[in-house]
Amino acid sequence: MSSLRAELGEYLAVRRALGYKLDTAERLLCQFLDYLEERGEQQITIEHALAWAILPGGQASWHAHRIQTLRRFARYLHAADPEVEIPPAGLLTGRSRRATPYLYTDEQIDALITAAEMLGTAHRTASFQTLIGLLAVTGMRIGEAIALDRDDLDCEHGVLVVEGKYGKTRELPLDQSTVDALRRYLRRRDRPPSLSGERALLVSEAGTRLLLPNIEHAFGKLRRRAGIAPRSAACRPRLHDIRHSFAVRTLLDAYRTEADVGGRLALLSTYLGHVEPAMTYWYLDTAPELMGLAAERLERSIGRAR
């Protein structure tokens, strides 16, 4: 079993070198090796993989996730040891249900920014207006926005340095209007003094970095004041959906201006901080208008080929 644990360490090191974080995968795979040890087993088999994956706890989607995580590890080991059995794809099914993205219109974003005027102090209003505006024009994750430091903003070159998932850092070029808005926020006279060592770009009234639970609570108030209601039980307005809206608007612009959609999608994937473009393709089926424009372009392409 010690050899399997050593090989697990090597597997995780290889994949992390490619940019994957794998905290959950490491925890699950260690649990599986514990499972084998308790039974005196030394080898990965389909039988053991299935029995471990369907242990009580979690829904079918979680069982499927367990075996898929183990399948990747087994495939890695099988390359050097054919005795390692790889659980077949589709052995367990249980696709997790993703929430339907709520795609905000420009008017709704403006309404959210206006609604922030009811948050109390001028500084709190400015912080939330700046946060919502920044999310809308960059599509960054809320966690990335919270983590921004003042030094991450280069006003001279109009660039924002973002620390994203998997330890990946990316530079986002900003429109001059965005740079000016951030500069004004940093120069506000009512900006509270930062605590010792605090370098946050967006700060609370106490001078500390903004906290996600507080942001989400305030966002709930803002969307209600802005009159933004759920479109269905599966499509509710979330803070994260501002990111989805940015992605869809970017692709809609590419179709409407007859731009190279494939090239724009590759740039968008990098801009959003996705590890691979396939993660960005999911945005394609979230907007009926986007699907309609894609179908129109395909029809024109087929017509020219005839």
Catalytic machinery residues: 141, 165, 240, 243, 274, 283
| Three-state secondary-structure class, residue 221 | helix
Query: For residue 181, which of 244, 127, 115, 141 has the smallest C-alpha distance?
Result: 127
CA angle, 173 as apex, 167 and 174 as ends, to 5°? 120
Output b/e per residue, 205-243; b: 16+ Cβ within 10 A.
eeeebbeeeebeebbeebbebbebeeeeeeeebbbebbb
Query: Residue ranges of the alpha helices (H) in 97-165?
Result: 106-115, 122-138, 142-147
CA distances from 263 to 22, 42, 235, 256 (A): 29, 48, 30, 15
Q: Roughly how many angstroms between the first and final C-alpha of the chain, as a whole number?
A: 62
Q: What angle do CA 194, 114, 215 make, to 5 degrees?
A: 45
Residue type, 273: G
